[in-house]
């Protein structure tokens, strides 16, 4: 699907079940490489990033089968420890396979996205963790080679709570001799889930949900099954959708406590919410009030929902300020929102949004995964038709955003 058309100014109503979590399942798939046997994962979202990770697993020798939303990975045999370059370029998060490959084979070979050198780059914390465990990091012919005869438990202290680096440190240390202590670890729910997943396979990890994780090395893992929780970012996107379109919806299949920063903000902006054990009811009447928002690591407001909230505020009431402290590239969405009539000014890491309603339908281009979803949200608050191009970005993280929103009454369709 390359184009999505949205006919705006239709309120939403109904119930939607949220797909399995993208950010939880990808490191689980990588973790399956550690076990010389079978791992079964249920509630796997059928999205492009999952298909990409499946391709990598198969290329390195795993036998994989995705039956509906159940994934079976047999990693009895690993035939290579190099992640093919084409996968690195199409999905940067494939770097998460470095930890389990290093832990199992003593070698992990990757390529640099775009051919850039190590320098100051987001993977420096990953490499630091590997080196602390005793690995040697080398750069040869634009390839990054991480190797170790033996990994040994160590103290790893992150200066920033990087989710990816925390995941790679966990995965690499499962088989390390002795005990590894990870300080300054990310506390995102996906990290807690990964710890639960690894422990379910036979790992020994303590401290899940805190900034200090302790990993006691084991010699082997065993066959296991696990159910992936609902995707909190997809749920947050549909929360933003009903705030932009108005209406009343029930979001089910999630853990509402994982969305507390987003739900607190939504209530401040005028939404009425009721939380349940595995769901969230949202009622929105009238335009949302713009607020000041600062993104930060969990449990703060997630950067993955910043673009969607920008779209909501663009069609809201008053003036709000968004401070992006993690990924400044998120503001690429503002340029496209302006094509819909949004009044947004970018000042460094801050976006100042003056709400206007309705916005005006126009042709826009999805700049990235979350930015594309934000343009769909904005389209719901537009007079006329909004046509969003390059929607393959959206398919990386949403099974079928048109199907989901159509089930709630939106007039939306995808086209090739």
Active-site annotation, residues = 116
294 in helix, strand or coil? strand
Compute CA distances 45 → 60, 230, 277, 401, whole Å: 22, 9, 21, 13
> Going by DSSP bridges, is the β-strand pair 292-294/343-347 parallel, antiparallel, or unpaired?
unpaired
Distance between CA atoms of 148 and 139, rounded to whole angstroms?
15
Angle between helices 163-173 and 98-105 (to 10 degrees): 10
Q: Name the token pair of 302.
A: 């997630």
Neighbouring-strand partners of residue 280: 251, 275
Residue 202 and residue 178 in contact, taking contact as beta carbons nearer than 8 Å: no
Largest CA distance in the chain: 63
Inter-residue contact 217 to 133 (CB < 8 Å): no
Residues 6+ apart with CB under 8 A from 397: 22, 47, 49, 231, 233, 234, 369, 370, 373
CB 171 within 8 A of CB 153: no
Q: Closest Cα partner for 209 from 237, 231, 185?
A: 185
Cα gap 154→359, rounded to integer Å? 54
| Cα(14)–Cα(251) distance, integer angstroms | 9
CB burial of residue 300 (10 Å; 0-12, 13-18, 19+): middle
Give me the long-range contacts of 397-400 (CB less than 8 A, separation at least 24). 397/22, 397/47, 397/49, 397/231, 397/233, 397/234, 397/369, 397/370, 397/373, 398/19, 398/47, 398/234, 398/237, 398/373, 399/19, 399/45, 399/46, 399/47
Could you give the CA distance from residue 381 to residue 179 in angstroms, rounded to a whole number? Answer: 53
């Amino acid at each position: 699907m390359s184009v999505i058309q949205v006919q705006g100014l239709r309120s939403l109503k109904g119930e939607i079940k949220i797909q399995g979590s993208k950010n939880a399942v990808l490191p689980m798939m990588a973790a399956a490489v550690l076990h010389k046997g079978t791992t079964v994962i249920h509630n796997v979202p059928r999205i492009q990033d999952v298909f990409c990770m499946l391709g990598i697993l198969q290329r390195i020798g795993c036998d994989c089968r995705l039956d509906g939303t159940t994934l079976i990975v047999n990693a009895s045999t690993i035939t290579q420890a190099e992640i093919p370059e084409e996968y690195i370029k199409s999905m940067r998060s494939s770097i998460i396979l470095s930890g389990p490959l290093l832990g199992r084979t003593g070698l992990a070979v990757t390529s640099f996205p775009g051919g850039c050198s190590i320098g100051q780059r987001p993977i420096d914390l990953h490499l630091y963790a590997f080196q602390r465990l005793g690995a040697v990091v080398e750069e040869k012919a634009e390839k990054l080679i991480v190797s170790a005869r033996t990994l040994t438990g160590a103290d790893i202290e992150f200066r920033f709570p990087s989710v990816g680096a925390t995941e790679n440190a966990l995965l690499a240390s499962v088989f390390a001799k002795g005990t590894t202590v990870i300080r300054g670890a990310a506390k995102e729910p996906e990290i807690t889930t990964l710890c639960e997943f690894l422990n379910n396979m036979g790992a020994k990890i303590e401290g899940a949900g805190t900034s200090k994780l302790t990993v006691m090395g084991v010699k082997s893992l065993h066959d296991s099954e696990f159910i992936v929780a609902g995707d909190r970012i997809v749920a947050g996107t549909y929360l933003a959708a009903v705030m932009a379109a108005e209406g009343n919806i029930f979001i089910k299949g999630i853990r509402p406590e994982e969305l507390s920063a987003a739900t607190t903000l939504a209530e401040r902006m005028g939404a009425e919410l009721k939380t349940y054990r595995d769901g969230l009811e949202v009622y929105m009447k009238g335009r949302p009030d713009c607020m000041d928002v600062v993104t930060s690591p969990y449990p703060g407001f997630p950067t993955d929902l910043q673009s969607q909230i920008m779209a909501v505020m663009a069609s809201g009431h008053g003036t709000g300020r968004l401070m992006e402290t993690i990924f400044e590239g998120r503001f690429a969405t503002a340029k496209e929102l302006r094509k819909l009539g949004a009044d947004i000014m970018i000042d460094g890491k801050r976006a100042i949004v003056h709400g206007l309603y309705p916005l005006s339908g126009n042709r826009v281009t999805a700049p990235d995964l979350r930015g594309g979803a934000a343009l769909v949200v904005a389209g719901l608050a537009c007079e006329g038709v909004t046509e969003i191009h390059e929607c393959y970005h959206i398919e990386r993280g949403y099974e079928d955003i048109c199907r989901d929103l159509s089930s709630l009454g939106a007039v939306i369709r995808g086209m090739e």
